[in-house]
Structure 1
Amino acid sequence: MTAGRFEDLFSVAGRSVVVTGGSSGIGAMVATGLVAAGARVLISARKVDALAGLAEQLGGRGVCDYVVADVGTPEGSAAIAAAVAATFDGRLDILVNNAGATWGAPIDDFPDDAWVKLANVNLIGMFRLTTTLLDPLRRGAEPGSPARIVNIGSLAGLRVTDVENYPYSATKAGVHMLTRHLAGRLAREHITVNAIAPGYFPSRMSAFALGDDSARSELLSRVPLGRTGTPADIVGAVRFLASRAGAYLTGSVLEVDGGAASAT
């Protein structure tokens, strides 16, 4: 590798990217960071107002389009595939499967509906969208420059937390195993599949734990680095996996949690 190529190790400039759940939270952080790095980004989510607002904001800094889609349904996957065909001429370099849902309730009252919803969004929908976009990813894949799939798992899929979110932790653990399974199958097609297991990042999903000062202090006392994650932390991890720097990784689950998964 020449010195010039070392300088481009983490570049995603010009790459076509889909980020699901891209209108808020970690998805918005990732989309913002990739647009700033010169990628062409298509974000999806269920609510048009949030999507359109962020796409307009990011469009002033680079290239960002959006599609309204619920990845928990076959129609949502089809809508994203149609948008990829129209926006990127049917070639996709990077898929960030970030869309997810959570649900907390006491164990004695946990509803079946929660299991159905979270399985559809967090696990079944992720698999369905991935397979729906395989042809565009195959067009973006080359032996020396694989197409990338980055699945967003969770700390909750690695260790038990105090939150009674049973289907969330179970489906996120499933995301990690699905990542490994897909990695083994798609490596022969020059498509890498890795996951990121974020710890505590400020978002709508984590507001219940971070919004109260005492709860926040208690939570952060279990994080060795003593803080929540920042946009730079998650964007850096995604850029690593999506760039030349991460081209030789597949089937990995990268813990981006301040050491929380390893804490005793």
Structure 2
Amino acid sequence: MNVSDLFSVKNKTVLVTGGSSGIGLMLATGFVENGARVYVCSIMADDCDRIAEELTSRGPGECISLPADLLKMSDIEKLVETIKNREPDGLDVLINNAGIMTVAPIDSYTEADFDNVLNLNLKSVFFVSQKFIPLLEKKGTASDPSRIINTGSVSGIAYQENVFAYSASKAGLHHLSKSMAVSLGPRHITVNCIAPGIFPSLITKEFLERDGENIAKLSLMGRIGRPNDIVGACIYLASKAGSYITGTILVVDGGLSITT
């Protein structure tokens, strides 16, 4: 039980959606720095290209840019086909991280707000995962299954003000992950969810700038999340150390969800 081997992700092939900023960028960076070949997917093509170039230059892994709009089934199918052509042996890890949040009082929350959030945060996760099942099955074995890791949120567990669709989408994603785990376990694919607390990202930028010090105090650790916190959790789930873990919600929030 060599710890270096137990938690290694070296030479694994990984896709991170929403990988050009926030938690997705943290995860892409962490996997590349630990020797994985990482595909970053984002609707922001220029950011994707820049991140891929920067991370590859650092190594020791590699990062490849694959921009896509995951609200479009045609883009999802093109993404799958591109990775299939580049990785004929299959995909080790799929990290469904792309997501958006709309903040508005209940009286002014619009139908478009609700639809956009649920479609990206929940519906697209299901269909991206579904389309990648054949590539994940190619790599998965009983002793070393392939992995799907979905980015949920403590907002799907504890109350957060004026993010109605976001909270609903993340609670739904937590349950969807368990349902997917039941279907895919016999096919040598684990499905788990991480539920981050407050981490620096485009979603949290505005309220961290406005009230970051007080927000940090809500955590039992007295701080917001750091890249190592979320990278460590995902590398655990993606490595041999996490090969017997499926259908779980791993909360990474410094205790935030039990204090709010």
Name the TM-score, length of structure 2 as normaliser: 0.97
Secondary structure at the residue paired with 2:48?
A: helix
CA distance in 1: counterparts of 2:82 and 2:152, whole angstroms: 25
Cross-structure match for 1:198 = 196
CA distance in 2: counterparts of 1:104 and 1:156, whole angstroms: 12
Is the CA contact 1:99–1:122 (under 8 Å) kept in the aligned structure 2?
yes
Offset from partner CA, 1:50-75 (integer Å, 9 cap, x none): 00000000111131111111112202
Q: 1:7 aligns with which of 4, 13, 19?
A: 4
Q: 1:17 aligns with which of 14, 18, 22?
A: 14
Cross-structure match for 1:188 = 186
CA drift at 1:90? 5.3
Is the CA contact 1:23–1:50 (under 8 Å) kept in the aligned structure 2?
yes
Offset from partner CA, 1:151-201 (integer Å, 9 cap, x none): 000010111113x01000000001100000001111111110000000000
Secondary structure at the residue paired with 2:119?
A: helix
Q: How does 1:71-86 map to 2 (within 5 A)?
A: 71-86=70-85
Cross-structure match for 2:31 = 34
1:238 aligns with 2:245: no
Q: Which amino acid aligns with 1:207?
A: K
Cross-structure match for 1:88 = 87
Q: Please provide the CA RMSD for this pair.
A: 1.1
Q: Which amino acid aligns with 1:200?
A: I
Identity of aligned residues (%): 39
**Which runs of no fewer than 5 residues in structure 2 stay unpaired?**
none
Q: Which amino acid aligns with 1:234?
A: I
- Paired residues, number: 258
1:49 aligns with 2:36: no
CA distance in 1: counterparts of 2:6 and 2:191, whole angstroms: 19
Q: Which amino acid aligns with 2:214?
A: E
Is the CA contact 1:73–1:120 (under 8 Å) kept in the aligned structure 2?
no
CA distance in 2: counterparts of 1:19 and 1:87, whole angstroms: 16
CA distance in 2: counterparts of 1:209 and 1:262, whole angstroms: 20
Q: Which amino acid aligns with 1:221?
A: K
CA distance in 2: counterparts of 1:133 and 1:220, whole angstroms: 37
**Which runs of no fewer than 5 residues in structure 1 stay unpaired?**
none
Is the CA contact 2:89–2:139 (under 8 Å) kept in the aligned structure 1?
no
CA distance in 2: counterparts of 1:167 and 1:90, whole angstroms: 38
Secondary structure at the residue paired with 1:133?
A: helix
1:223 aligns with 2:187: no
Is the CA contact 2:193–2:250 (under 8 Å) kept in the aligned structure 1?
yes
Cross-structure match for 1:254 = 250
CA distance in 2: counterparts of 1:90 and 1:109, whole angstroms: 49
CA distance in 1: counterparts of 2:213 and 2:63, whole angstroms: 37
Q: How does 1:103-122 map to 2 (within 5 A)?
A: 103-122=102-121
Secondary structure at the residue paired with 1:149?
A: strand
Name the TM-score, length of structure 1 as normaliser: 0.95
Secondary structure at the residue paired with 2:6?
A: coil
Is the CA contact 1:84–1:90 (under 8 Å) kept in the aligned structure 2?
no
Q: 2:176 aligns with which of 140, 161, 178?
A: 178
CA distance in 2: counterparts of 1:184 and 1:104, whole angstroms: 33
Secondary structure at the residue paired with 1:107?
A: coil
Secondary structure at the residue paired with 2:81?
A: helix
Is the CA contact 1:55–1:65 (under 8 Å) kept in the aligned structure 2?
yes
